[in-house]
């Protein structure tokens, strides 16, 4: 960017990177407001949008009433990074969609999070391993981030959570998480939401 004289992009990159790093260094709680977590993810995605240019786009949808819902910090970034790492190429456009909503299931309230990309989707052997709760690895790498995230959800919520991996009918990977819907009643109790 400096060599090309893209000073506006350099300024944006520094801003996005500082937001991203600030979140990493301030996250020391078991749970954080999803609004804050999504802000961190947006900083990461803004960096990637500058990096990849017009071939990468993203969107995020969440109801205003759900922005104070609680989520384990740094949980979603693993799946977002995975989508970009395995789907973004210089010859094919990638769109990433992150959707958050409150749902009821068996008279319980859950926070449902969908991360969908327009890439090539999960390889069939990875989907089979995920369905059998096996450690995911391939010849060239071990997918430790996904494995750790699955274990972390199980430790935090036991059987009161779900995570599903599948491919969209027209291509693209889809990760869906269901975790218990929790919210801080008092705004001051949720420091990360400010």
Distance, in Å, from the CA atom of 34 to the CA atom of 17, rounded to the nearest integer, reads 19
Task: Name the band, by pLDDT with cuts 50, 70 and 90, for residue 50.
Answer: confident
User: pLDDT tens digits, residue range 173-186?
Assistant: 999 999 999 987 66
Per-residue b or e along 138-164, where b marks 16 or more CB atoms closer than 10 Å to that residue's CB: eeeeebeebbebbeebeebeeeebebe
Query: What average pLDDT does the segment 24-51 reach?
Result: 80
- Ranking 92-101, 129-138, 145-154, 182-191 by mean pLDDT, the lowest is 182-191
- Whether 74 has a pLDDT exceeding 90, the answer reads no
Q: pTM here?
A: 0.80
Collect all residues with Cβ–Cβ distance below 8 Å to 69 and sequence separation of at least 6: 33, 34, 100, 102, 111, 181, 182, 183
- pLDDT value at 70 more than 60: yes
Q: For residues 74-89, give the mean pLDDT.
A: 84
- Residue 111: pLDDT band by 50, 70, 90 thresholds? very high
The span from the CA of 179 to the CA of 159, in Å, is 10
Per-range mean pLDDT, top range of 10-19, 38-47, 63-72? 63-72
pLDDT score recorded for residue 43: 84
Q: What does the pLDDT read at residue 76?
A: 92
pLDDT above 90 coverage of the chain, percent: 37
Tens digits of residue pLDDT in 142-193: 567 888 889 889 999 999 999 999 999 988 999 999 999 998 766 555 444 4
What pLDDT is attached to residue 22?
61
Query: Does position 16 have pLDDT exceeding 70, yes or no?
Result: no
* High-pLDDT (> 70) share of the chain, %: 76
Contact assessment for residue 185 and residue 191, using Cβ atoms and an 8 Å cutoff: no
């Amino acid at each position: 960017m400096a060599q090309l004289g893209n000073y506006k992009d350099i300024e944006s990159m520094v801003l996005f990177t500082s937001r991203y790093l600030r979140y990493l260094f301030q996250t020391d709680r078991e749970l954080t407001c999803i609004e804050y977590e999504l802000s961190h993810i947006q900083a990461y995605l803004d960096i990637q949008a500058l990096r990849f240019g017009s071939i990468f786009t993203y969107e995020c949808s969440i109801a205003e009433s759900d922005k104070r819902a609680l989520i384990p910090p740094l949980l979603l970034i693993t799946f977002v990074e995975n989508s970009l790492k395995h789907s973004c190429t210089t010859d094919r456009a990638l769109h990433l969609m992150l959707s958050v909503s409150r749902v009821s299931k068996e008279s319980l309230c859950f926070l449902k999070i969908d991360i969908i990309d327009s890439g090539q989707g999960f390889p069939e052997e990875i989907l089979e391993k995920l369905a059998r709760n096996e450690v995911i690895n391939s010849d060239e790498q071990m997918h430790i981030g996904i494995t750790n995230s699955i274990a972390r959800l199980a430790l935090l919520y036991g059987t009161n959570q779900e995570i599903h991996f599948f491919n969209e009918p027209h291509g693209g990977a889809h990760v869906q998480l269901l975790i218990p819907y929790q919210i801080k009643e008092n705004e001051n109790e949720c420091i990360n939401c400010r």
